[in-house]
Amino acid sequence: MKLYDTDLTSRLLLGTAQYPSPSVLLDAIKASATQVITVSLRREMPQGSAGGFYRLLQEANCHILPNTAGCHSASEAITTAKMARDLFETDWIKLEVIGQSDMLAPDVFELVEAAKILAKDGFKVFPYTTDDLSVGERLLDAGCDVLMPWGAPIGSGQGLRNPDRLRAMRAHFPNTPLIVDAGIGRPSDAIQAMELGMDAVLLNTAVAKAGNPVEMARAMSMAVRAGRMGYLADPMERRDMAVPSTPVFGLAELS
């Protein structure tokens, strides 16, 4: 998988929030085999410094994808992205602009505006968006090379609420990397996303809040790989009726 100018072998991106301890976080990252970890600048800098946490993440030896979680306007997100670039020394940014607090739904109008400005400023933008095709087109026009449609509201663990829309996105954007972001709760959800042809899955809460985060990270890694293999294997179509798997040719006829 290639995201912007970076080749990756893992198709699982992992968030770093809400883990019970730093050691569990590092163990989960290792078990997941991820190569990309996300970190929220605003959530990790309540006192104005994320230096200690950044040093911890460096131990994981992964690409860091800062995000603009907690931003509710394009201007907030742009300012946060620039701070993240200075702190983490990367031009990658996961762009989140929240418009509806109860569902943590993206504000697609502010999102497109922020994406346009950040892309012009040299950022490689990973936009957290809806599964709307027209919004996806506008984000690509704004300079994004990746789309990150939600599967369900952030942290809900509901799985894919509208797989048909994701399937439509895959068909409409055949050459654009699509990463399901938000809503994944179980390994079976990750498998479903990958079997739909998504290029990767980004998740956080499903691992961080599991009873055993390390084992769940390992399970998610296996699920993403299995789902991808299933997609490439071209699964059989669903049928309305039973079809015998045992050949009937050559069977004896008894009268």
Residue 101 clears pLDDT 80, i.e. is over it: no
Instruction: Find the Cα–Cα–Cα–Cα dihedral 222, 38, 6, 150, rounded to 10°.
Output: 70
Instruction: Find the Cα–Cα–Cα–Cα dihedral 112, 117, 121, 124, rounded to 10°.
Output: -10
Q: State the residue range of the domain holding 118.
A: 2-233
Q: What pLDDT is attached to residue 239?
A: 85
In a domain, 29, yes or no: yes
User: What Å distances lie between residue 16 and 21, 26, 74, 75, 184, CA to CA?
Assistant: 11, 9, 24, 25, 15
Q: What pLDDT is attached to residue 44?
A: 54
In a domain, 43, yes or no: yes
In a domain, 13, yes or no: yes
In a domain, 246, yes or no: no
Catalytic residue among 30, 94, 116, 124: 94
In a domain, 190, yes or no: yes
Q: What pLDDT is attached to residue 54?
A: 76
Q: What pLDDT is attached to residue 248?
A: 65
Binding site: which residues? Answer: 155, 182-183, 204-205
In a domain, 240, yes or no: no
Across residues 91-117, what is the average pLDDT?
92
Split into its structural domains, the chain has a count of 1
Percent of the chain topping pLDDT 70: 93
Q: What pLDDT is attached to residue 243?
A: 82
Binding site for 1-deoxy-D-xylulose 5-phosphate: which residues? Answer: 155, 182-183, 204-205
Across residues 43-50, what is the average pLDDT?
49
Instruction: Find the Cα–Cα–Cα–Cα dihedral 60, 65, 71, 77, rounded to 10°.
Output: 140
What is the pLDDT confidence band of residue 252, given thresholds at 50, 70 and 90? low
Burial of 239 (0-12, 13-18, 19+ CB in 10 A): exposed
In a domain, 248, yes or no: no
In a domain, 251, yes or no: no
User: What Å distances lie between residue 223 and 150, 190, 227, CA to CA?
Assistant: 18, 6, 6
Has 94 been annotated as catalytic? yes
Question: Has this prediction a pTM greater than 0.75?
Answer: yes
CATH number of domain containing 109: 3.20.20.70
pLDDT, tens only, 55-66: 788 888 899 999
Q: What pLDDT is attached to residue 48?
A: 45
